[in-house]
Amino acid sequence: MSYYDQPLLKPPVWTWEVPTYFFIGGAAGAAAVLAAAAQLSGEDESLVRDARWIAAIGANLSTPLLIADLGRPERFLNMLRVFNPKSPMSVGAWTVAVFGTTSTAAVLSPFGRNVFAAFSALSGLVMSTYTGVLLGVSAIPVWKEHARLLPVHFGASALGAACSMLELRGHKQRALNSLALGAAIFETATPAEKHALMRTAAALSGPVPFVLRLIGKRKAAAAATILGSLLTRFAWVEAGSRSAAAKPPLS
C-alpha cells in the first residue's frame, strides 16, 4: 500500500455519546440563558422554572455522557486539576463542572437560587457554543475550514432547541416563537456539507421549522427543530470522519 492510499489524518473515534453530549449540553446551556432573560424581563415564573429545570437536567446528563466517552471518571477529574484558558478542552471541562453545579443549585438550593441561576446562565452561554470552538481548533480539515461558523451555528441550533423544548412544555410566549424563528432563519442561511445526514439536519433545523412557524404550527416546528439540532451534531461528526479519511491528492 502506497502513501497515496493513506488518509490525511486519523478520523475521530467518537461514538454516539459525544454528539449527544454536544446536543444536550448546548440546549441546556441555552435554556439557562433563556431562564435568566425571562426572569429579567418579568415573564411568567413557570417559564423561568421550566427553563431552569431543562438546564439542570441537561447539565446532569452531560457529565456522564462526557465521562462515558473518556472511558473512566478519573480522566474527567484530571482535566479539572489545572485551568488553561488557551485550551478548549480545559475550558470545556471547567464549563461542564461549573454549569452542572450552578444549574442544579438554581433549582434545588433553598437559598441563593437567583445567584446560582446567574452563574448558570453565564456558563450556559459558553456551554452552548464551546463545542463548536472545540471542533474548529482541531486539525480535521472540514472543521478547521468552518472554525468561525461552528460556534455561532451550534449556538443558534442550541437556542432553537431550547425554545422548542419550552414550547413543547406548553409555553406560548411570543418571544419564544420569535427567537426560534430567528434561529431557523440563521440555520436556513448556514451552508451545509453535501452529504445526506447534513442535508437532513439542515432541512429540519432551518426551512422546515421556518415554514411551519409561519403557518402557525409551532409544536410541529418545535419537534422538527429539536430533531434537526440533534442530527446537526451527528452530521458534523460524520463530516469530520469523512474529511479525515480523505486521501491526499496526487501531485
Between the alpha carbon of residue 206 and those of residues 24, 60, 202, the distances in Å are: 19, 28, 6
The pLDDT of residue 1: 46
Extract the runs of DSSP E, i.e. beta strands, from the chain: none
Is residue 247 predicted with pLDDT exceeding 70? no
- Output 7 or 66, whichever has higher pLDDT: 66
The pLDDT of residue 91: 86
Compute the CA torsion angle 211, 214, 216, 222 (nearest 10 deg).
50
Distance CA 247, CA 52 (A): 46
Is residue 208 predicted with pLDDT exceeding 90? yes
**79: confidence class by pLDDT, cuts 50, 70, 90:** confident
Average pLDDT over residues 20-43: 96
Instruction: Give residue-wise pLDDT tens across range 137-183.
Output: 988 999 999 999 999 999 999 999 999 999 999 999 999 999 999 99
The pLDDT of residue 9: 65
Is residue 3 predicted with pLDDT exceeding 70? no
The pLDDT of residue 248: 56
Assigned C-alpha cell, 87: 485550551
Contacts of 70 (CB under 8 A, 6+ apart): 76
Q: Which residue has the cell 464549563?
A: 95
Is residue 8 predicted with pLDDT exceeding 80? no
**DSSP assignment, residue 216?**
T
